[in-house]
Amino acid sequence: MSPSDILWEQPDPGQLLLLTSDQDWTTLLERYASLNNTPLKRCFEVARASGALSVVIETRYVDLDFRSEYSAFYSRTFESVSDSAHRLHFFGTQLAEHHLWGLPEDHRYLGYVVVRPSTIARVGRALLCAPPGLKDSVRTMIRDAVNFFGQSLEVEGVPFVQQDAQVGRCAHAAAWMCHYSAYRRGDVARRPMAEFSLSAEPGLGYGRPLPSPGLTVQQLLELLRVLGLPPMFYHINNLPKSPTVPWALPDRTDPIDPNKKEHGYWDTRIFRICCRFLNSGFPVMVTTGDHVFVLCGYRRETQEGKPDWIQFVRHDDQRGPYLQVGDIFDDKNDDGTYSYTPWQTLIVPLPDKLWLPPEPVEYVGGLFLQRFAEQVKSNISEAQGLLDLIDAKQLALRSYAITSNAFKTASQNRLDPTLAREYRLARFSRFVWVVEAIDRTLRRSGQPCVVGEAVFDATSSEQLPNCLALHVPGVAWIAQTDGKFRFPVRCVPNPYLSGGVGAP
């Protein structure tokens, strides 16, 4: 079947295909051939790696995002374009046709991919489970609800979309991925794909809005603000200083290669900045010279005798979902035909009231934890443990943002019951930044490794972050809103699990 022969409304209501051989997958890919089939191919690789054995093609699928693109653009072209799409549902079990209206209990739903009726770019809204090898690395997963022929299904993953190169470009696709994640987190209302083009401020860019030539960085920043996710912005050549707590590793200050002075070739602060947001479950947009992609996770690689290395996971609308980033300082695509290095800027779309940036929080949090432990150690000997870790250069800091409700909810399973009770009854701002003190040795061995934390009000000033709570082994201090405080909250000094997303 050639791409132009696709019947977008037939068969009614769908079609079941078994995917048991290489040929089945090839046939499916050929069916939806397009100018850039790499993202669709990668979607199929992800589904296959997760164990997909069946696909159900939901025909005449009225997709909100494609309909918005259709309304804004395709309905106005001379060529006839279908107004409906296909939605491909992947299952990790071999289904039979009678299962379409009554799925077996062990259906193993793996997610969906909307296929656009455009021969330029096929992948519309897609949400697939992360492949098994990357599942633990992916940190910005959301849960999506799907109605499959009257049956409610759920899938967890990171949303993906490919630019259609007409209504939207890479910047629109990346903004949509972050925005759909925020929508599913409950931070913003749903916005269809075309709105990302139509809401862009033309005065901040060049050329005509449609067909879109892309967005400038200013347009992208403004677009995210208008859509309810005012972004944090970092220029890679001008990153904020890292916290200078006594035990922190110093920043590299010189280029590795004197001929490559741009910080995107050597500045290790990029890791720390990205990880703080990924620990919070927020995707990070990275711009290169002419492209933008989305970081959605990372994995810490320990190397004998060397500092740990961070391996990121990205969604690149031109290449597909869940792709591993090898070395950010020599970052190329699989066949080496495109170089992402040097990264130019980091853009982090955030909920409105997360005003406080993480760098001052981590700096102040580290200092407060150290001084607090020193203050109490003569009466509470367990606190000395944190100072010993500092002396042995085995204390790391890990920061993440979280809603205080989620922090309190999770506290019961992570913390000593006395401390969990105090946190639950404390008055905290809606979002808090948490700076955790991590025992590096325990972290390396995969054990619970958090030995204390400082909690900050996310609406306070970056010039004086407001500390809401401090906890070191054996004791905690908690601020109250009337200026009083709860101290000493005595608690068990054992290490516990991190409250951030994913492994610390």
Partner 1 sequence: MPCDAKAQTLDMSRTNQLAARRELYFRGKTMKAQQSDKSPLPALTPIEGLNVEEPLNLLRPEERRNLKRELDEMARSRREAEANSHTLRLS
Among 34, 345, 404, 429, binds partner 1 (CB under 8 A): 345
Task: Name the residue among 471, 491, 488, 470 with its Cα closest to residue 416.
Answer: 491
Using CB under 8 A as the binding rule, whether residue 147 contacts partner 1 is answered as no
Least Å from the CB of residue 219 to partner 1:
9
Using CB under 8 A as the binding rule, whether residue 8 contacts partner 1 is answered as no
Q: 170-185 vs 217-226: helix axis angle to the nearest 10?
A: 30
First-residue to last-residue Cα distance in the chain? 49
Long-range pairs of 374-380 with CB within 8 A, sequence gap ≥ 24? 376/472, 376/474, 376/475, 376/488, 380/474, 380/475, 380/488, 380/490
Residue number, 173 or 501, with CB nearest to partner 1: 173
Using CB under 8 A as the binding rule, whether residue 363 contacts partner 1 is answered as yes
Using CB under 8 A as the binding rule, whether residue 169 contacts partner 1 is answered as yes
Using CB under 8 A as the binding rule, whether residue 209 contacts partner 1 is answered as no
Among 47, 294, 313, 364, binds partner 1 (CB under 8 A): 364
Residue number, 27 or 237, with CB nearest to partner 1: 237
Among 408, 462, 497, 503, binds partner 1 (CB under 8 A): 462
195, two tokens: 């709105």
Residue number, 358 or 500, with CB nearest to partner 1: 358
Residue number, 48 or 225, with CB nearest to partner 1: 225
Using CB under 8 A as the binding rule, whether residue 415 contacts partner 1 is answered as no
Among 63, 359, 382, 453, binds partner 1 (CB under 8 A): 359
Least Å from the CB of residue 426 to partner 1:
9
Using CB under 8 A as the binding rule, whether residue 325 contacts partner 1 is answered as no
Q: Which residues of 351-386 are buried (b: 16+ CB within 10 A; e: fewer)?
A: beebbbbbbbbbbbbbebbbebbeebbeebebbbbb
**Can you name the residues that pair with 112 across neighbouring β-strands?**
89, 127
* DSSP tag of 105: T
* DSSP tag of 245: -
Task: Name the residue among 402, 398, 427 with its Cα closest to residue 187.
Answer: 402
Among 14, 159, 205, 366, binds partner 1 (CB under 8 A): 205
Residue number, 60 or 169, with CB nearest to partner 1: 169
Using CB under 8 A as the binding rule, whether residue 208 contacts partner 1 is answered as no
224-243: contacts with partner 1 (CB under 8 A): 233-235, 238-241
**Can you name the residues that pair with 401 across neighbouring β-strands?**
433
Q: Residues binding partner 1: what is the number (CB under 8 A)?
A: 57
Residue number, 289 or 326, with CB nearest to partner 1: 289
Using CB under 8 A as the binding rule, whether residue 98 contacts partner 1 is answered as no
CA angle 264/270/276 to nearest 5° reads: 160
Using CB under 8 A as the binding rule, whether residue 452 contacts partner 1 is answered as no
Least Å from the CB of residue 176 to partner 1:
13
CA angle 428/380/455 to nearest 5° reads: 20
Q: Judging by beta carbons within 10 Å of its beta carbon (0-12, 13-18, 19+), is residue 433 exposed, middle or buried?
A: buried
* DSSP tag of 408: H
Among 103, 115, 292, 328, binds partner 1 (CB under 8 A): 292
* DSSP tag of 253: -
Using CB under 8 A as the binding rule, whether residue 344 contacts partner 1 is answered as yes
Positions that interact with partner 1 (CB under 8 A): 169-171, 205-206, 213-218, 220, 233-235, 238-241, 244, 287, 289-292, 344-345, 357, 359-360, 363-364, 367-368, 371-372, 374-376, 378-380, 422, 425, 454, 462-464, 467, 470, 477, 485-490
